[in-house]
Amino acid sequence: MYIVTGGAGFIGSAMVWRLNREGIDDVWIVDDLGTGVSWRNLPGLRFSEIVGREDFLDRLDQAGLPADAEAVIHLGACSSTTETDADYFFKNNFQFSRILAEAAVDKGIRLLVASSAAVYGAGERGYNDSEDNLGLLRPLNMYGYSKLLFDDWASRSGTLGKLASLRFFNVYGPNEYHKGDMASMVFKAYGQIRSAGRIRLFKSYRKDFADGEQMRDFVYVKDVVDAMWWLLGRPGANGIFNIGSGAAESWNELAAAMFAALGMEPKIDYVDMPTAIRHQYQYLTLADMTRLRQAGYEGTFRDIRAGVEDYVKAHLSRPNPYINNGE
């Protein structure tokens, strides 16, 4: 049995899909569906139970993790980079992760934990996922700091050597439709083109980056869950791992890929960046993939053109775009 927290969310539902492809149907989805639309990610997926977050925590407190749990894939968290309630982040992202990690390690259950490239802040200290760099990192928002708090605790407690903490870079792809403002720019670009025939990109406020030349490590969700599946089967591969493509591509390249997938000529408007986010805007993210490769992972990561083409043609352009209805 596999437990996926945040299993109705973006990466979580994609991971359930990946487990199903491996013939695994005994999956607990831990998530609070509430009144949102993340439930739309679930039809077509096979799982054995849906458990709310507080009910799951109660079960942990009373009986620990189920004895037949093969692995826990902890993806549930608040991922908003504009949320300002630090207490909420501390409870939801750090404390929950720590409780779950202690429960999994206690029973020797394989554990993957979602972290984020947000821990690297502006990237002034690079994007190396070595444990030795933890004290050097300065996240730009509370979301990133909550993820750094967990890695730091896991390192100091000796727990980090018994789990894999995955620092996701700019993940995009099917099943992010419920995320609203937190959806990827790839998804937003598709909507902008369909409604107005144009894409809006932020102007640059640094002399060393032209408008639209700010760069991101874009990584396709299908490649992400392939890497996660590989890590699940290698309990000796522990510590922190960047999960990105290992290449930095610009917003202009993203726009070109989207227009190409739609068979259209590029039309881009460069707009002012909101003042509120200028101080925490990342101009470059680039995953150092050395540790994952040294661990033995040989899987490929699509570039932005290949990923966008699959996203558009296999999902976004279809009446039912969810990952569980397409390959």
Q: Tell me what percent of the residues of the chain surpass a pLDDT of 90.
A: 83
Does the residue 318 lie in any domain? no
Instruction: Say what the pTM is.
Output: 0.94
Position 327 pLDDT exceeds 60: no
273: part of which helix (H) or strand (E)?
none
pLDDT at residue number 307: 98
In the prediction, which pLDDT does 142 show?
86
Answer whether residue 81 shows pLDDT above 80: no
What's the whole-number mean pLDDT along residues 23-42? 94
- Quick one: pLDDT band at residue 278, thresholds 50, 70, 90? confident
Mean pLDDT throughout 187-214? 96
Looking at residue 282, its pLDDT comes to 86
Q: How confident is the model at residue 80 (pLDDT cuts 50, 70, 90)?
A: low
Domain range for 232 is 2-171+219-245+288-301
Q: Does 253 map to a domain?
A: no
pLDDT tens-place string over residues 149-177: 999 999 999 999 999 999 999 999 999 99
Residue 324 pLDDT: 86
pLDDT at 181: 85
**Residue 27, domain member (yes or no):** yes
Give the mean pLDDT of 212-227.
Answer: 97
| Residues sharing a CB contact under 8 Å with residue 161, sequence separation 6 or more, in sequence order | 238, 239
Residue 35 sits in a domain of what CATH number? 3.40.50.720
Please report the pLDDT score of residue 281 as a whole number.
86
Q: Kindly state whether residue 26 falls inside one of the protein's structural domains.
A: yes
Residue 311 within any structural domain of the chain: no
Total domains, the chain: 1
Which residues are catalytically annotated? 143, 179
The per-residue pLDDT for range 82-126, each reduced to its tens digit, is 667 778 888 888 899 999 999 999 999 999 999 999 999 989 899
Residue 281: name the closest of 188, 189, 209 by CA. 209
Quick one: pLDDT at residue 253? 98
Residue 47 lies in a domain: yes
Give me the mean pLDDT over the 204-216 stretch: 95
**pLDDT, tens digit, 9 for 90 and up, residues 116-145:** 999 999 898 999 999 999 999 999 888 899
Instruction: Give residue 135's pLDDT.
Output: 93
Give the C-alpha separation, 168 to 96, whole Å.
19
Q: What is the percentage of the chain residues whose pLDDT exceeds 70?
A: 98
Residue 79, pLDDT score: 67
Q: What is the pLDDT, as a whole number, of residue 122?
A: 87
